[in-house]
Structure 1
Amino acid sequence: MSELKDSLSQIIQNIGGADNIESASNCVTRLRLVLNDKNQVNVKNLEKLDLVKGTFFASGQFQIIIGPGLVEKVYAEFIKQTGLKESTMTEVKETTRAKGNLLQKGIRTLADIFIPILPAIVASGLLMGFNNLLANPGLFYEKSVLEVHTGIAGISQIINLAANAAFTFLPALIGWSAVKKFGGNPVLGIVLGLILVHPALMSAYDYAADPSKVKYWDVLGYKIEQVGYQGQVLPVLFAAFILAWFEKTLKKRIPDAVQLIFVSPIALILTTFLTFIVIGPLTMTGANWITDGVVYLFDVAPVLAGAVYAFISPLLVITGMHHLFLGVNLQMAGSLGYVTLWPIGDTVTLAQGTAALTMFFILKHNKKMKNIALTSSFTAWLGITEPAIYGVNLRYRYPFIAVMLASAVGSGFLAYFDVKATSIGVGGLFSFLSVFPKYWGVYFTGNALTIILTALITFLFFKSKRFKTEEVIHVEKIAS
């Protein structure tokens, strides 16, 4: 514990002291700091500390990579030594929200909406994968496990119920998170989402199958379709924004004494009418265009589409733009019942871990970097790639380039065979659990190909003398 305290004292000293820190929070692997003057940071001294696995500036924050698990203890001691008030990630992001261009602000907004609901989505994906193990023939027996062991049918049905809940009520999850982000009452966001999937409405899936059976509301002679928005993302995002705007506007104009009576009902009913009349039909059409466009691209040129997506994915991660594809994946899972982008692009996760592990063998005389490379490779294979990206692969450049090249080949291979997953799942070695079992053979082959190529290309770059192991890329220029 005393060693941890000493390391924290040195970290604080090398970022300009406690007076230079405006706010601090932590995520799964990093301390995330908003500094008054980033020029006071001594990066070289910081990265000499055993506790520090790497540092970088991104989105107005100075981030210090510590590693999963340990970062929580480090943050607690950091708060104690600096005397700062504990802040959430959202509060720190709010401190930096004015920084960056319009695209960066939009991406951060999407991230703030989707990331809080990811645990539910990932859990659903894994449960769906587990249920697939029971329901698909040929995995353990010639028939499915359910057909051989009929007594566990009820277990499978309960698992399936739990697995489908997050997608059945996806608009409610997004409504809660989005309205909260936009400054409204998140409970109203839940209600809005539930309205959009109310059982009195015709299901979006039934509507897609046969639109002629839809019923209508007659509102002053205007016909409004009674259609639900199951599995939709864009309609509830726009509706949540409008709901939060109505709520905040009404609170400014209605006296405090009667706000409870008037604000929520008026905001909710106005948003509901606008959603079913304008927002829903328009955004649902746009969402379907996006989904159809992705599917079309992978139908027409699957290898090229998969290769390009994987090639740019590492760059998207360090710029934060990968959050744009969270919504696309959720839209596909909700409307199609499967996702393609996530399983095809997850080769990047394994490639980051493999590149870091290869650097463990290359960096023979740098004990600290060998340790960072080894530990970060394992965390990457378990789905947490930041230590490998910022601590090793970006630092030396050529492992990062190897990741881009090798994952492009692996993902092109997977795209050729049209690999699909039930939903977004946990990344890395256990990602196969969310992939439909009939694709497992191809999936394992594509990932093995990615791992072998990543190690080989990294080693060849090292041997080519084209890159020096002392070279460090300026992450700030890319990430911020």
Structure 2
Amino acid sequence: MSINEQSVGGILDAVGGKDNVVSATHCVTRLRLALDDEGKVDKEALESNDLVKGFFSANGQFQIIIGPGTVERVYDKFVDIAGIGRASKEDVKKAAEKHLTPLQRLVKTLADIFIPLLPAIVTAGLLMGVNNILTGPGIFYPNKAFIDVHTNWKDFADIINVIANTSFTFLPGLIGWSAVKKFGGSELLGIVLGLMLINPELLNAYAYASAQLKGTIPHWNLFGLQVQKVGYQGQVLPILIASYVLAKLEQWLNKRVADTLKLILVAPIALLVTGFLSFIIIGPVTFAIGREITNGLVFIFNHYALLGGLIYGGFYSVLVVTGMHQMFLAVDLQLIAQTGSTFLWPILALSNIAQGSAALAMMFVAKEEKLKSMSFTSAISAYLGITEPAMFGVNLRFRFPFISSMIGAALAGGWITMQHVRAFSVGVGGLPGFLSIITNKWGAFFIGMAIAIIVPFVLTTILARTRKIDV
């Protein structure tokens, strides 16, 4: 696509001019702007701009969907015309924070911690899916796994499993790195803190329940105080809270310890104090909270499966719009750690597919070539797990495709929860999502996929015809 100064200037004018732009950066597909007043945005002018495929506001940022590759060239011209300096994503995030409510700040904090971990987590999920295909019985042969028939593949599958499980095995180390960095501490100390919580000398968290029943949980005796010698493998809350404490303690010490002594005092004291607090208070308390949250969710989905699936499936896309969906990655990881699987993530995968199907339907009912092209490309993106172009560029713009996708996702979510479909890992939230599903539930999940594809497509088409949408 050719980039001309007039089109880029049109974007600048539509967002209120250069005086309204506090800072600007870009990601793979979007311009990300911190605006002084979003009320000055001319949405009609943006929609009519050939470069713009959609726009939305989230976490205090006004984000304009341009597309991969093109967005870099648009950004270069944008900052030149606006006469503003190039900003990093962190600069824009900080500039946008003044517009956030306390809840939005919490969601943004969780997003900033977990989004950098997604490549490792999703990659692990995909590789576990490959291992699942090789080791799952009944996929290629009745009641037998592929490696049972072709035994020379067994070690190959085992190596894949080791590679895939690494991210989940050392998850507290990954979270410790990202969380301490977010809270303003030393990332290296965050890694050490996370690995400390899963030290092999500790009782593995996965063996905690059985050890508790047998009364064999090991303890430290700290001058009469009995402290459980337990690790926190796969746990999210303990390392999140401990990382916050570590970062703030490190900052406090850095302000008070002389420069000549910082190297030998700050890190050791911060890690030692946080370590003791983690094992004595933070770990036991947050571990218990995490277990109760998980037990509550499991109870709801076990006893009210249809209702839970309908609500979560129907409103997951609304959570995406508000940005609150980022909180549920932590919930998925907690479910996997405690129960070995998650019933929430499969619903996410179907919600993404439903968004893609609604956008695909718009390609057939639309008359405008730009909208047809945008609908098709955004549908493909959603089917592969990236819903932003479809959701914000097409479905929310016309509303009825978005509502159609919500209905389709709700029905699909209700179906798979009634069938007790679970995923053993977080993977790609679209058509490839079946790779993360436990193999004996593939059939039920494929039916759910069919619902998520057909219902939004049919509903969007019918509503477009009955409402006589002329676009």
TM-score tier, shorter chain, comes to: over 0.9
Alignment of 1:91-130 (within 5 A): 91-130=91-130
Q: Which amino acid counterpart does residue 160 of structure 2 have in structure 1?
A: I
Query: Does 2:411 match 1:430?
Result: no
Distance in 2, matches of 1:149 and 1:404, equals 44
TM-score (normalised: structure 2) = 0.95
Distance in 2, matches of 1:272 and 1:249, equals 17
Give the conservation status (yes or no) of the 8 Å contact 2:306–2:417: yes
Deviation at 1:69, TM superposition (A): 4.2
CA RMSD of aligned residues (A): 1.8
Match of 1:251 in 2: 254
Match of 1:476 in 2: none
Deviation at 1:249, TM superposition (A): 0.8
Q: Which amino acid counterpart does residue 461 of structure 2 have in structure 1?
A: F
Deviation at 1:2, TM superposition (A): 5.0
Q: Which amino acid counterpart does residue 99 of structure 2 have in structure 1?
A: K
Distance in 1, matches of 2:137 and 2:263, equals 56
SS at match of 1:47: helix
Distance in 1, matches of 2:234 and 2:303, equals 25
SS at match of 1:305: helix
Q: Extract unaligned runs of 5+ from structure 1.
A: 471-480
Distance in 2, matches of 1:388 and 1:263, equals 49
Match of 1:473 in 2: none
Match of 2:35 in 1: 35
Deviation at 1:259, TM superposition (A): 1.1
C-alpha offsets along residues 106-145 of structure 1, whole Å, 9 cap, x if unaligned?
A: 0111111111111111111111110011111221234322
Deviation at 1:172, TM superposition (A): 0.6
Alignment of 1:48-447 (within 5 A): 48-82=48-82, 84-142=84-142, 143-211=144-212, 212-364=215-367, 366-447=368-449
Deviation at 1:468, TM superposition (A): 5.5
Q: Which amino acid counterpart does residue 89 of structure 2 have in structure 1?
A: M
C-alpha offsets along residues 191-238 of structure 1, whole Å, 9 cap, x if unaligned?
A: 000000000111111122212222211111111111000010001111
Distance in 1, matches of 2:412 and 2:39, equals 41
Q: Which amino acid counterpart does residue 442 of structure 1 have in structure 2?
A: A
Deviation at 1:94, TM superposition (A): 1.6
SS at match of 1:140: coil
SS at match of 2:98: coil
Deviation at 1:290, TM superposition (A): 1.0
Q: Which deviates more from structure 2 when the two are superposed, residues 14-23 or residues 241-250? A: 14-23
Alignment of 1:445-460 (within 5 A): 445-460=447-462
Distance in 2, matches of 1:216 and 1:151, equals 44
SS at match of 2:202: coil
Deviation at 1:80, TM superposition (A): 5.0
Deviation at 1:184, TM superposition (A): 0.8
Distance in 1, matches of 2:177 and 2:85, equals 27
Distance in 2, matches of 1:109 and 1:434, equals 27
SS at match of 2:99: coil
Give the conservation status (yes or no) of the 8 Å contact 2:238–2:287: yes
Distance in 1, matches of 2:4 and 2:145, equals 53
Give the conservation status (yes or no) of the 8 Å contact 1:306–1:345: no
Percent sequence identity is: 48
Distance 1:336 1:262, change over 3 A: same
Give the conservation status (yes or no) of the 8 Å contact 1:306–1:415: yes
Match of 1:24 in 2: 24
Deviation at 1:375, TM superposition (A): 1.5
Give the total of aligned pairs.
468
Distance in 2, matches of 1:112 and 1:15, equals 26
Distance in 2, matches of 1:318 and 1:45, equals 22
Q: Which deviates more from structure 2 when the two are superposed, residues 87-96 or residues 258-267? A: 87-96
Q: Extract unaligned runs of 5+ from structure 2.
A: none
Distance in 2, matches of 1:449 and 1:295, equals 24
Deviation at 1:76, TM superposition (A): 4.2
Distance in 2, matches of 1:250 and 1:3, equals 51
Give the conservation status (yes or no) of the 8 Å contact 1:230–1:335: no
